[in-house]
Amino acid sequence: MYNINEGLKYAEVESVLYNQGGLFNGTFRAGPHKDVVEKAAALNKEWGQLKSADDYVYKFLFKNIPKNVLDQAGICVEYRNQAKLISGFAKDLDSAFNYVSGANYAKANRVFQELTSETGENGVTGVTSLRQFIELMSASGLLHGSTLSMTRLSLTSPMVALLSPENPKFSSADKKYIRLLALTIVGALDGYSVFTSTVPYKKVPPEVLQVLKIYDDRSTALKGEAFEKIVKDKEYFKKFGFIQTDHGPEGIDGKQYTIATYI
């Protein structure tokens, strides 16, 4: 969770991805190319028609791979284990909101549907309730938290080598870029994740906090089980641990918590 500095966080990310003439001083570009924007719009539209977290996982993310094949091959096991919590989480949170104030929650849903209906051809017009939005955003957030970010990849040895491949020393521009990358990681607070029960707001109803606590505990338990599997085999950890440590205890590897800014 980037707390009150979230706006600054997005400005830093924009500087890294969009205002540098592409990443790595032009050697490797990752900017708002027309083909990227068009593909992103198409994916956004497809995302906006999904109805649940299961839809996101099995009809969007792995739409061409049957579930039994995913299971047999052991693909994204920990991610899918965490994603199994989402449907119950959204249902219980929806019930808690209704219990606290059904009238206000119904109004919030109406306003939300009006908002999504105005997002246009490539928008999220198919997302018509806050419960559905919670499911889809949680599934998306978990995926982000299970994936190596561009920032982390940028600071690995092979990627750093691309900064100025013709020069054995960092240039002034390289140093500025590395500092900017580091700034996008700073500012995280422990305990903030998709199923967070640590919230900075004093007036959150206890019924809502109870739901958050239940699913935070379940998620944390899954992380503990996954972490034990990773560290048990040192060779396995060397090969795959750096990817999967987002399923470890909070702060175990200085991981980014960008995940929380999407929720």
Look up residue 128 and give its amino acid.
Answer: T
| 15-19, 67-71, 255-259 — most confident range | 67-71
What's residue 229's pLDDT? 78
Reported as a pLDDT band with limits 50, 70 and 90, residue 24 is: very low
* Burial class of 93 by CB neighbour count within 10 A (0 to 12, 13 to 18, 19+): buried
pLDDT tens string 203-212: 889 999 999 9
Phi, psi angles (nearest 5°) of residue 200: -85, 15
Terminal-to-terminal C-alpha distance of the chain? 10
Phi, psi angles (nearest 5°) of residue 153: -65, -40
pTM of the model: 0.73
Return mean pLDDT, the chain: 77
CA distances for 24 relative to 35, 162, 169, angstroms: 20, 7, 14
